[in-house]
């Protein structure tokens, strides 16, 4: 069953004081197949940790939990990575803070994918 191409997930209540921005997470490979969509639009605090972003993403696309997102939703599985706007890789540290701007794109893909 096809899902909508975007989903607006609500950020955790304790981060609502931050400015909220809309970002797009583009899905590749297994993540795309699991969610049956190309991308997910998320509304997140502009200053979010990787753990906060993966938690919001897991609410928008629960099919990613255990496949690309850790079971506890605190970060990505070791074999997955995020890239911000196609220019900078995001490390796997859950506490890493991302400074996100309206319209930013995070690319989610397996770091073990060949080319």
User: Is residue 37 pLDDT above 70, yes or no?
Assistant: yes
Question: What HEC string does 16-82 produce?
Answer: CCCCEEEEEEEECCHHHHHHCCCEEEEEEECEEEHHHHHHHHHHHCHHHECCCECCCCCCECCCEEE
* Residues 12/59, Cβ–Cβ less than 8 Å: no
Range of the structural domain that residue 68 is part of: 13-110
* 18 pLDDT tier (thresholds 50, 70, 90): low
Residues in contact with 41: Cβ distance below 8 Å, sequence separation at least 6, in sequence order: 6, 7, 8, 22, 23, 24, 25
Q: What is the DSSP string of 75-108?
A: SB-TTEEEEETTTEEEPS-TT-EEE--TT-EEEE
Mean pLDDT taken over the chain: 84
CATH number at residue 97: 3.10.20.30
pLDDT of 96 reads 82
Residue 2 lies in a domain: no
Residue 90 maps to a domain: yes
How many domains is the chain built from?
1
Confirm whether 94 is domain-assigned.
yes
Residue at 31 is within a domain: yes
* pTM as predicted: 0.80
Per-residue pLDDT reduced to its tens digit, 52-91: 999 999 999 999 999 999 999 999 998 899 999 999 988 7
Q: Are 28 and 65 in contact (CB under 8 A)?
A: no
């Amino acid at each position: 069953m096809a899902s909508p191409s975007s989903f607006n997930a609500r950020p955790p209540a304790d981060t609502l004081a931050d400015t909220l921005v809309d970002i797009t997470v583009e899905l590749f490979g297994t993540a795309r197949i699991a969610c049956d969509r190309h991308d997910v639009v998320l509304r997140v605090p502009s200053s979010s940790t990787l753990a906060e972003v993966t938690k919001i993403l897991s609410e928008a696309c629960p099919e990613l939990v255990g496949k690309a997102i850790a079971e506890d939703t605190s970060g990505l599985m070791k074999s997955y990575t995020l890239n911000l706007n196609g220019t900078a890789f995001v490390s796997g540290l859950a506490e890493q803070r991302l400074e996100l701007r309206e319209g930013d794109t995070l690319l989610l893909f397996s770091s073990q994918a060949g080319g």
